[in-house]
Amino acid sequence: MIKASDLLKNRDLEQDENAKVYEIEYLKCVHFIKEKHKSSESIYYELPFFSPNTPTYDVKECLQYIKNKLRDCEFYCKIKNDSTLYISWKREHVLLMQKILQDKELEQLRLQEEIMRKEQQELEEMENELKRERQLQLQQKEAERQERLLNYKPNTALSDLYLKTSLMKKNSKYSHLKGVKKANLKNSDK
C-alpha cells in the first residue's frame, strides 16, 4: 500500500539530494572562477550534463541555482544556453550587481515594514474588539442592574428587603452590620 506521506518524504529526500549536487556544482564553479580571475574579468562556465560519482540532476535548475548564488556574491551572471553561464566581475557589472542587491535589500525591508504595519494594525483591531466586548458586557450588567431596580414591587416582602439592603449597603453608617458586610463582599466580587 502506498501512502501520501511516503511520497512526500521521497520527494523531500530527492530535493535534499539535488540541493547537495547543486552546491557541489556551485563550488566547482567558484573554484573555476578563482583559477581564471587573474587572467580575465569574465568567463563562460560550462555545466556538465553528467558528473562522475554524482546522481543525475536537472541542468537548467542547477544553472539557475549557481546563477542565484553568484549574483548574491555580486557577480554578474547570464544564462547563455541550456548548460552555459556567462559570469563577469568587471567593475561596471559589479557596481550594477551591488545596486541590484541594494535595491533588493531595500525592497525586503519595505516588505518587512509593511508586514509589521499590518500585524500592528491587526493587533490594534483585536484590542479595539476586546474593548468593545468589555464595554458591551459592562453595559449589559448595568442594564440588568437597572432592570432589577425597575422591577421593584413595594407590595412584596422580598422586594422591600432588597431595597432596604441595597440602600443600607450604600450608606456607611450601616457598615458595622454583618448582613450588610456580607452583601458588600458579594457585590464587590461581582
What are the residue ranges spanned by the domains of the chain?
Answer: 4-89, 105-189
pLDDT exceeds cutoff 70 at 134: yes
The amino acid at residue 90 is K
Confidence of residue 2 (pLDDT cuts 50, 70, 90): confident
DSSP H/E element including 154? none
Given this model, what pLDDT does residue 159 score?
61
Residues 38 and 107: their CA atoms lie apart, in Å, by 35
pLDDT exceeds cutoff 80 at 4: yes
pLDDT exceeds cutoff 70 at 21: yes
CB contact set of 79 (below 8 Å; sequence gap of 6+):
63, 64, 67, 85, 86
pLDDT exceeds cutoff 90 at 145: no
Write down the CATH number for the domain with range 4-89. 3.30.1370
Given this model, what pLDDT does residue 154 score?
57
Between 167 and 76, name the one with better pLDDT. 76
Instruction: Let me know: does 41 contact 89? Beta carbons within 8 Å.
Output: yes
Between 4 and 135, name the one with better pLDDT. 135
Q: What is the pTM of this model?
A: 0.55
Confidence of residue 69 (pLDDT cuts 50, 70, 90): very high
Mean pLDDT of the region 131-143: 92
Residues 31 and 66: their CA atoms lie apart, in Å, by 13
Mean pLDDT of the region 145-164: 66
Strand partners, 42: 88
pLDDT exceeds cutoff 60 at 125: yes
DSSP assigned state of 155: T
Mean pLDDT of the region 83-99: 91
Instruction: Let me know: does 10 contact 59? Beta carbons within 8 Å.
Output: no
Given this model, what pLDDT does residue 16 score?
79
pLDDT exceeds cutoff 60 at 170: yes
